[in-house]
Amino acid sequence: MSRKRAELDDLTPYTGCGADAALGLLPLAVGWLRGGMAFETGKAPESFLARLLPFCQPEHTVCAAGGTRPCPLCRQLIPPYGQAEIRVIGEVDIYAAPDLIYHYVSGHHYLPPPEFVAAVLQGPAPDTAEHRALRRALR
């Protein structure tokens, strides 16, 4: 049984985008926050925020939601975010996160799992051939 996006905890299998399953991917969920949910907080390194931001830009996202979702924590619309998902390629796993994750980190001090932080900092950037190929396959 697949779990809905709103019920996901960090590093659990993510099945919210059918395109992943069609490719045989089972990414790990990161940052699927909801109101009233306890989550790890802290100060993310500036290098992480700078490297995360391009992943969240509309030209680098996948699995569009078909509308803009407000932040579930502050209920504000945060353009251009809240419309799609991102994928981050790690050394071992692929991670699926909402494009609002940048807002969660910068505005609500959400601290993603270390594995995800390492993947963002050390894995392929969204403008690399490897990441473009993954996005094309998921569209």
What is this structure's pTM? 0.93
Which residue type is seen at 126?
Answer: P
At 5 the pLDDT is 47
In angstroms, the Cα distances linking 35 to 71, 79, 97 are: 9, 19, 16
Interatomic CA distance for residues 3 and 46, integer angstroms: 32
Binned at pLDDT 50, 70 and 90, residue 1 comes out as: very low
Q: Which two tokens stand for residue 92?
A: 């071992």
Interatomic CA distance for residues 110 and 62, integer angstroms: 22
Q: Where are the beta strands (DSSP E) in the chain?
A: 28-29, 85-89, 94-98
At 7 the pLDDT is 61
> pLDDT tens digits for 111-137?
999 999 999 999 999 999 999 999 999
> pLDDT tens digits for 19-61?
999 999 999 999 999 999 999 999 988 899 999 999 999 999 9
At 59 the pLDDT is 96
At 6 the pLDDT is 47
**Residue 50 CB: number of other CB atoms within 10 A?**
11
> pLDDT tens digits for 58-90?
999 999 988 899 999 999 999 999 999 999 999
Whether residue 14 is predicted with pLDDT greater than 80 in this model: the reply is yes
